[in-house]
Amino acid sequence: MRENADRPETIDSRIAARLKELRAARGWSLDELAKRSEVSRATLSRLEKAEVSASAAVLGKLCAVYGLPMSRLMMMAEAGYTPLLRPADQPVWKDAEIGFTRRSLSPPAEALSGEAVECVLAPGAHIAYSAPPRPGLEHHLLMREGKLTVRLDETVHTLSPGDSLRYRLFGASSFETPAGEGARYILFLV
């Protein structure tokens, strides 16, 4: 997690506000959310105050508890819906500690279910999710550059440029790049 003190409104501060709203809408205390998500109460408090930025792993745990894909959380943090997004206007979120960058190519809208995101993992990066945000969430992954290992429960797929992988999430998943090479891929969520 990264410190965010005394900054103007950012994607991180908007995510913090949405996380607080999601918890409040369910009537959960920070302690209840900590139990459900396996994220410490102190971390949750600091996230909701926008004192720190969440890692991809922490956001993954929270999204699983709330039953929504990370991209839906990102959409909730963005203002409005625009049908055409130029590259300069596509929201980008980074987890510098892991080496993960996520660009919303087609941010979701309330009336639309599909979306596309471009993901970049640095060499030697590893992201693990203990549960899907929504059981059965469909992914279509298209490798653009580098090498990527995707683990879906006990099934392992090693991907190279041009490969595509279609799957539905029901359990744990992880994404990992080798030490000497990163990866860039497009992920379509349905």
**Chain-centre distance for alpha carbon 169:** 14
| Contact between 93 and 101 (Cβ < 8 Å) | yes
**Chain-centre distance for alpha carbon 3:** 19
| Contact between 146 and 163 (Cβ < 8 Å) | no
pTM of the model: 0.67
Tokens encoding 154: 């006990």
Q: How far apart are alpha carbons 69 and 185 in whole angstroms?
A: 17
Range list of β-strands (E), 18-77: 52-53
CA-based nearest residue to 59, from 3, 12, 25, 21: 12
Q: How far apart are alpha carbons 93 and 111 in whole angstroms?
A: 23
What residues are paired with 129 via a beta bridge? 173
Q: Is the dihedral of CA 48, 98, 88, 73 positive or negative?
A: negative
| Residues 56-99 pLDDT 10s | 889 889 989 988 888 777 777 765 556 677 888 888 989 999 99
| Residues 121-175 pLDDT 10s | 999 999 999 988 888 999 999 999 999 999 999 999 999 999 999 999 999 999 9
Question: What backbone phi and psi angles, to 5 degrees, belong to 143?
Answer: -75, 130
Report which residue type is found at 131.
A
